[in-house]
Amino acid sequence: MATVAFPWVQRFRTPGVLFFATIDAIDAMGRALLVTVIPIQALDAFGDSRDISLAFTFGGVAGLAGLFTIPWLIRTFRRRFVYTLGVALLIAAAAALATASQVGVVVAIVLRTFATSCVIISMNLYVMEFIHKRDFGRLEPIRIMAVGVPWTVGPYLGVHLYAEVDPLFAYAIAAACAALVLAYFWWVPLRGQPTAALHRAPRAPWRDIGRFIVQPRLRLAWLLAFGRSCWWSMFFIYVPLFMVESGLGELAGALAVSIGNATLLVAPVFGWLARRFHMRPVITVAFLALAGTTLAAGLTADAPYVAASLLLLGTLPAVALDGLAIILFYRAVHPYERPEMSAVYSTWRDLSNMATPGIAAIALSFGPLPWVFVALGATMFVYAAYSRYIPHSM
């Protein structure tokens, strides 16, 4: 019996497609449990959508400030330490939420923002080391599909535990998932040949930014990643709030997020389309579809079920962008500057998490919540226009 099982065990201990998909799935479950809990807990703590937007904006600013320390941490303490730090901070964020206070909510947002950057940057460096360049197009859709089930179950389960059972259960399960992913990470022998960039002397952050900006393909990869992340930031924060304010309830908002995340399961289809028709037309059409559905949702907000259906429909093109956008970065970055460029590239996450609620806070000062959908929908047309600059060879 042991001899039969042994090859499967070895496959899970080998840093390949199966390992990266599995560790992403476990990590996703812990983060997905709290993704809809945090806006709802923030609403309970602050009582106003505008104050919630300001809290998320502050979290984005703090996370961005810490982001540029990650290359230094990687060179000084290595990737394993940075990944471990990120997972530990996710556990600390769950503990902060358990305080059920305004300060706890803000601290949790800050910790999760920085922790997510630590986890993703470190893991992307491992991906670029252990996965061949020609296999990126196959890996990313599989990784996106692997997190589909956690991101489908987690948002609804988290709010159900928060509202119907006990909030402590949601925090405890999220922390347990983080502990499990850390144990699995240390169980796998990640002993590759790190790029020489990990041993170079650190550079000032502004020099890394300047080096990034002068490379057109890196600029384009960042811009498109920023655009689709703005949409997801809007979806995770304002769809639950919209459902609550429309009278449909907290669980309806969590269910909408869970159903939207279920579309992650079809990510490999978009990978096949990109290989068949190239990335440029697929990404361009995805941004156009995202623009149309989101703008229409804002204009039909008086019919909550129609607006919610349009937003859920928009998750399909958003998933297409999830599975393809990062491949632009993987193929454009030079091996000798991966840590620095990965840190600069990852600013799309923090800046989008900061910019989206920041713009929303301004919009909500003058109008109702659906104005956020209208603004985001119109913005997606801009990214569709920039998609034409994707090299046809991709």
Residue 54 and residue 35: Cα distance in Å, rounded?
Answer: 17
30-65 tens-digit pLDDT:
988 988 888 888 888 887 767 777 788 787 777 777
What is the radius of gyration, based on Cα positions, of the chain? Answer: 20
256 contacts 242 by C-beta, under 8 angstroms: no
Report CA-CA distances (Å) from 213 to 218, 287, 343, 350, 373: 7, 23, 13, 17, 30
Q: Which of 181-185, 196-200, 301-305 has the weakest average pLDDT? A: 196-200
Q: Are 162 and 288 in contact (CB under 8 A)?
A: no
Residue 357 pLDDT: 79
* Residue 226 reports pLDDT greater than 80: yes
Give me the amino acid identity at 315: T
Higher-pLDDT residue of 71 and 172 is: 172
Q: Is 278 exposed, middle or buried (0-12, 13-18, 19+ CB in 10 A)?
A: middle
Residue 204 is predicted with a pLDDT of 58
pLDDT in tens, 89-137: 999 999 999 998 888 988 998 899 889 889 988 888 888 788 776 667 6
Domain annotation for the chain: domains and CATH numbers? 14-187+194-389 (1.20.1250.20)
Residue 133 CB coordination number (10 Å):
11
Contact in structure between 37 and 162 (CB atoms under 8 Å): yes
Confidence of residue 206 (pLDDT cuts 50, 70, 90): low
pLDDT of 202: 53
pLDDT at residue 189, rounded to an integer: 80
The yes-or-no verdict on residue 192 having pLDDT over 70 is no
Least confident of 72-81, 207-216, 252-261, 268-277: 268-277
What is the spatial distance between Cα 263 and Cα 243, in angstroms, rounded to a whole number?
20
Residues sharing a CB contact under 8 Å with residue 279, sequence separation 6 or more, in sequence order: 324, 327, 328, 390, 394
pLDDT at 196: 45
Q: What is the pLDDT of residue 4?
A: 46
